[in-house]
């Protein structure tokens, strides 16, 4: 079985999150974030029903999709695959490939349960392909309930003094913020139209978020607004303050430790932190760990030194097969 990265992450014969230029007969899409979604007209794309719904709603893409629910098995050439909750966003999946060896690919994942989603459970395997976005010891996230309480307190306090803008990725984080505002305050949030559309997909697939109002020249209908971070900047905040004649307070929900002009930054991530990555690797009991994305080299080194498990970064030049990683 091979692991290689060339137009896709190949786990054996299974291409995962392939580029559009990868004309494989079948490929797996792990989840609906744009950097994992690229389609063509010849490939059959295997994903969860929720991921298909997100892709069709968010990107208006029509492709040849084949739905695979969590835990169900599907023959894939000389292998068998199954998808398992990754806890990242709605419908996001870890991929388990069973053949001559068992390969588990976490893709983007978190292990903490959130207010709207269960966290990922470790998959037993021979080879673990482990995301390493926050693969350094400096990344340590507090309990989610603690962060929710801080967000709720911030919104309640600052909404009495003015108007609150919360920034969170429109797919995943914004739905969590919608639920938090509903559960931890007595306010109904306004949401940007991209957030609104994703909220509707979540609700259609059984995730209850509470009440929310689509932003449409109606800033007077609430005192809290949920926006994608890419749209929240100094100019927008000035325009809002001028438009509604209220002081604007801004907060950002992210695992990255930067303020970037926001009044508050809340350490809320849809990825596992450093210790959670190590715990996952230990519980999966692999013979080999291959790290990918972010701090690949650093996390591989920690896995080897702290867990005694052979580990290599996926991006290391020239390494394409398991034999070369061993």
Q: What is the pLDDT of residues 228-287, one digit of tens each?
A: 999 999 999 999 999 999 999 999 999 988 777 899 999 999 999 999 999 999 999 999
Closest of 36, 25, 22 to residue 76, by C-alpha: 25
For 144-266, CATH gives 3.40.50.12650
Nearest to 89 by CA among 113, 127, 117, 120: 117
* CA nearest to 104, candidates 130, 128, 72: 128
> Long-range contacts for 207-212 (Cβ within 8 Å, ≥24 apart)?
207/90, 207/116, 207/117, 207/175, 208/179, 209/116, 209/175, 209/178, 209/179, 209/182, 210/178, 210/179, 210/181, 210/182, 210/183, 211/182, 212/178, 212/182, 212/188
User: Do residues 323 and 4 make contact, with C-beta atoms less than 8 angstroms apart?
Assistant: no
Choose the CATH number for 3-139+271-325 among 3.20.20.100, 3.20.20.150, 3.60.15.10, 3.40.50.300: 3.60.15.10
Q: What is the pLDDT of residues 167-214, one digit of tens each?
A: 999 999 999 999 999 999 999 999 999 999 999 999 999 999 999 999
Where are the domains positioned within the chain?
3-139+271-325, 144-266
Q: Is the pTM of this model over 0.85?
A: yes
Q: List the beta bridge partners of residue 155.
A: none
144-266 matches 3-139+271-325 in CATH topology: no
């Amino acid at each position: 079985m091979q692991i290689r990265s060339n137009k896709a992450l190949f786990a054996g014969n299974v291409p995962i999150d392939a580029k559009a230029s990868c004309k494989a007969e079948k490929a797996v899409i792990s989840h609906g974030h744009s950097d994992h979604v690229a389609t063509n007209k010849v490939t059959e794309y295997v994903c969860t029903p929720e991921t298909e719904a997100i892709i069709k709603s968010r990107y208006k893409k029509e492709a040849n999709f084949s739905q695979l629910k969590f835990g169900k098995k599907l023959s894939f050439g000389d292998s068998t695959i199954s998808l398992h909750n990754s806890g990242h966003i709605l419908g996001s999946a870890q991929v388990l490939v069973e053949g001559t060896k068992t390969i588990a690919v976490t893709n983007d994942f978190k292990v903490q349960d959130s207010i709207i989603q269960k966290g990922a459970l470790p998959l037993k395997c021979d080879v673990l392909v482990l995301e390493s976005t926050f693969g350094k010891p400096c990344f340590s996230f507090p309990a989610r309930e603690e962060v929710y309480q801080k967000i709720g307190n911030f919104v309640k306090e600052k909404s009495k003094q003015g108007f609150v803008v919360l920034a969170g990725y429109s797919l995943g984080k914004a739905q969590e913020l919608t639920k938090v505002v509903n559960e931890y305050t007595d306010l109904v949030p306004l949401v940007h139209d991209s957030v609104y559309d994703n909220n509707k997909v979540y609700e259609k697939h059984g995730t209850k978020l509470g009440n929310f109002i689509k932003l449409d020249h109606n800033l007077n209908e609430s005192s809290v607004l949920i926006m994608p971070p890419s749209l929240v900047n100094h100019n927008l905040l000035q325009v809002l303050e001028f438009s509604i004649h209220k002081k604007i307070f801004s907060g950002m929900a992210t695992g990255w430790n930067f303020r970037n002009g926001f009044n508050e930054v809340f350490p809320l991530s849809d990825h596992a932190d450093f210790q959670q990555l190590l715990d996952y690797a230990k519980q999966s009991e692999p013979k080999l760990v291959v790290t990918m994305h972010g701090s690949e080299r650093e996390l591989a080194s920690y896995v080897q030194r702290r867990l005694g498990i052979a580990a290599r970064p996926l991006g290391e030049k020239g390494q394409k097969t398991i034999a070369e990683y061993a």
